[in-house]
Amino acid sequence: MPILELAQLIRFVLVRTSHPGNIGSAARAMRTMGFLRMELVAPHRFPDREASALAAGADDVLEGAGVHEGLIDGLAGCSLALGLSARRRGVDLPEISPREGASRALAAAARGEQVALVFGNERTGLENEELARCHAMVRIPSVDDFSSLNLSQAVQVMAYELRVALLGGDVPEAPARVDVEPPADAAQMERFYEHLAQTLDDIDFHKGRAPTTIMLRLRKLFQRAQMDERELRMLHGILADAQRMATLARKE
């Protein structure tokens, strides 16, 4: 299934959100990762100017957002609901990591099922009866002495993990290098090292030290850099100028 269709099967459900700004920030966070479907359960204020301002252009998410009285409506059609919770409570839901949650969500979506990520109120989180409608509890691994993520940041972490899972691993789809210069091959590198060694001789760098150790170190350094042909031409140019100076110096 194409990424777009999979993403449409996954919704973000925000329950009893107090601050409309957080709804806007959550919409933005979803949108950056390609998720459009938001369901709001009993938001304190919505629609609201602050939500729109903080959505920063993710208006399509806010405009499409459903508003519901109860969680049960927000979850309509879903076969899998994952509740986000910072706290370990007396609810005996399985507790899973965001990565595991993303993986399960995607597996369900790939079967054509609808999936919900459920986020509670900013201060109180999800109530036990809300968690009871979920199939597992996702805990973002925050530190014990400061465990409370901002709502939209929890949304961002989940949306990010889902996006990475959708993309099929953690490789960004782009080519690593922007330019198309061919990498230098072994023979070109060898000619460069010869030129470098000759230049070091010409500028009288060795001064009695063993040239082999130095050349070995320089080789290691430039091998690590994995140069392309253009870079190699540039370095040859520099070496040639240093040699030219050495020749002039000797004429004196």
Separation of alpha carbons 90 and 4, rounded Å: 37
Give me the least distance between CB of 77 and a second copy, in Å please.
21
Give me the least distance between CB of 118 and a second copy, in Å please.
18
Q: Which of residues 83-142 bind a second copy (CB under 8 A)?
A: 88-92, 94-100, 139-142
What single DSSP character describes residue 45?
Answer: S
Burial of residue 89 (number of CB atoms within 10 Å: 0-12, 13-18, 19+)? middle
Report whether 80 contacts 115 (CB < 8 A): yes
Give me the least distance between CB of 158 and a second copy, in Å please.
10
Give me the least distance between CB of 144 and a second copy, in Å please.
9
- Which residue, 74 or 105, has its beta carbon nearer to a second copy? 105
Q: Which of residues 12-41 bind a second copy (CB under 8 A)?
A: 25, 28-29, 31-34
- Which residue, 67 or 140, has its beta carbon nearer to a second copy? 140
Residues 6 or more apart in contact with residue 207 via CB below 8 angstroms:
none
Q: Could you say which of 56, 72, 107, 110 contacts a second copy (CB under 8 A)?
A: 56
- Which residue, 124 or 148, has its beta carbon nearer to a second copy? 148
Give me the least distance between CB of 115 and a second copy, in Å please.
18
- Which residue, 3 or 76, has its beta carbon nearer to a second copy? 3
Give me the least distance between CB of 81 and a second copy, in Å please.
17
Separation of alpha carbons 20 and 48, rounded Å: 6
Report whether 96 contacts 104 (CB < 8 A): yes
| Nearest-10 crossing angle of helices 98-110, 151-166 | 50
- Which residue, 69 or 146, has its beta carbon nearer to a second copy? 146
Q: Which of residues 146-205 bind a second copy (CB under 8 A)?
A: 146-150, 152-153, 156-157, 160, 163-164, 167, 170-174, 176-179, 200, 202-205
210: contact with a second copy by CB under 8 A: no
Separation of alpha carbons 144 and 101, rounded Å: 21
Nearest to 158 by CA among 200, 206, 119, 127: 119
67: contact with a second copy by CB under 8 A: no
How large is the greatest C-alpha to C-alpha distance in the chain, in angstroms? 92
Residues 6 or more apart in contact with residue 46 via CB below 8 angstroms:
17, 20, 23, 40, 65, 67
Segment near a second copy (CB under 8 A), from 42-50, 72-80, 82-90, 109-117?
A: 82-90
Give me the least distance between CB of 151 and a second copy, in Å please.
11
